[in-house]
Chain A
Amino acid sequence: MFEEVGTTTEGDLIINMGPQHPATHGVLHLVVTLNGETIKNVEPHLGYIHRSIEKMCESLTYRQFIYVTSRMDYLSAHINNHACAMCVEKGLQLEVPPRAQVIRVLMDELTRIASHELWWGAMAMDLGAFTPFFHAFRERESINDIMEETCGARLTMNYMVPGGVMHDLHPNFQRRVKDFLQLYKSKVHEYDEMVTGNVIFQNRMKGVGIISAEDAISYGCTGPVARGSGVSCDVRKHYPYEIYDKLQFDEILETGCDSFARYMVRVREMNQSISIIEQLIDNIPEGDFQAKTKAVLKLPKGEFYSKAETARGELGVYIVSEGGTTPYRIKFRSPGFSNLSILNRMAKGGKIGDLIAAMGTLDLVIPDIDR
């Protein structure tokens, strides 16, 4: 790969961005062909963190494989676990108790806020503003504390199991979440003052990284990337799971098609998640947190597919079962992989400096792409 560095016969410059570039948030390697400042081609080279999770899962039982999936999109660990648990439940035709459903949704939405917070801070840092990162991490830290108390981990939670959640909520959970809501509401105006309304920021984001609605669909984009181009694709709205159909929240759509539109989708989505948490935090039903399951889970012969909305888009889990205790084949349709494929299309013809602003709003998590 590295011998490609140099100039082409037409005099274009070829440079490597990554795998250790600060703006790629992980080991993503881009080979960029430049004509002066203008991008002629961007080619991602993947695999620096590929662990072959799909192959690993073939030798793990239906209880075990869920733990590995926390390591895919580690910023949406709960939602990864959730999608896998739902897929196994579909195979077992297992009913999840109402308490577990509410706990799952609460955890998912807290994860979504934490993920968007990290993206927001890192995004601003990519563009040269270091301060927002600390502001974002202040709020994110209290979510991590909530997770640590209930799940015992801050990043790879492994809290969702087939049939419900692993154990009950910590007694402090409700109070902690309410403290967080208060903290978030007292600080959220800073986000807009610091970044959203900033003229320099807007000038760098507007009109950069255009993705048309047709392209977004054709390239398989989901999540805020597609919604920034006005494509309605929220799994929580279109294919509601758990109790999402009973909740009041809006699917955020922007029509700008540029980096700024994708930025606005995520910032506004955080407020929707806050509203979902507010609806649920005082209404957690009493009862079991886990359905009764057999010690050894065996899925019937067949194919099972479940989807969930992670912070990055639609995560699909496809299990092919032969009736045994381990999946015969498992495929994760990760949102990052499809979202990355549009990078060349959106960056081509733009300036090298805009590549960072455009790529930042794709919100790529490399272990999610590499799996």
Chain B
Amino acid sequence: MTNEELKTGISELAATAIIDEADANGWLTVNIEATNWLSFAQSLRTDPALQFNFLFCLTCVDWKTHLTMVYHLRSTIYKHELVVKAKLDRNNSEIESVAHIWRTAEFHEREVYELFGVNFMNHPDLRLLILPDGWEGKKPLLKDFEDPINMIRL
């Protein structure tokens, strides 16, 4: 599917979503409300014309005023790709987990949970993955995190 066709298909699925023009990578970016993410994700996965079955990257960006969840999706059948972004409140960041739609999200969400403190609702196993026990509460990839003992800024 070309970006134009994707745009029409997606605006039918999510009327309130704001779709940005293709970026430097040639991908459309769909900005959605965090509360709409789960139903939108489900339709992206199951819609017969879209079939985004491969979540190849899941991450978060700290903008100091808010967090942004970034999902990179691909359809291995139609070879089209898409970026979905959801803005989160920095102090009370939570969003629905998509681990049951794309199983790869289970590990990626655990990583984002410990490094950014995003709470993924209905995640099957939301625990620390990389950081040692006792690190709860400290979020290393947030911009205001400084560790005086283990300096990670070069």
A binds B: yes
Residue numbers of A with Cβ under 8 A of B are: 1, 45-47, 50-52, 54-56, 58-60, 90-91, 215, 217-220, 222, 231-233, 238, 302-305, 314, 316, 318, 320, 328-329, 331, 333, 337-338, 340-342, 345, 370
Kindly count the residue-residue contacts between A and B in the assembled complex, taking CB atoms under 8 Å apart.
94
A59 touches B153 (CB 8 A): yes
A90 touches B102 (CB 8 A): no
B141 touches A341 (CB 8 A): no
B153 touches A47 (CB 8 A): no
B99-140, CB < 8 A from A: 102-104, 106-108, 111, 129-133, 140
Interface-central residue, A52, A54, A59, A328, by most chain B CB under 10 Å:
A52
Q: 12 more A-B contacts (CB under 8 A) besides A217-B53, A219-B103?
A: A46-B130, A51-B152, A91-B24, A220-B55, A220-B108, A231-B76, A238-B79, A302-B24, A316-B57, A329-B61, A341-B103, A370-B130
**Given A55-B152, A320-B61: A220 and B130 within 8 A (CB)?**
no
**Across the two chains, which residue of chain A brings its CB closest to B85?**
A303
Whole-angstrom distance between the Cβ of B5 and the nearest chain A Cβ: 19
- What 8 pairs across the A-B complex have the smallest Cβ distances? A220-B104, A47-B130, A341-B107, A331-B59, A333-B57, A218-B103, A52-B152, A59-B153
Q: Is the interface of A mostly helix, strand, loop or mixed?
A: mixed
A220 touches B140 (CB 8 A): no
Residues of A within 8 A of B103 (CB): 215, 218-220, 341-342, 345
**Given A55-B141, A56-B153, A231-B76: A340 and B57 within 8 A (CB)?**
no
B24 touches A329 (CB 8 A): no
CA distance A345 to B72 in the complex (A): 23
Residues of B within 8 A of A342 (CB): 103
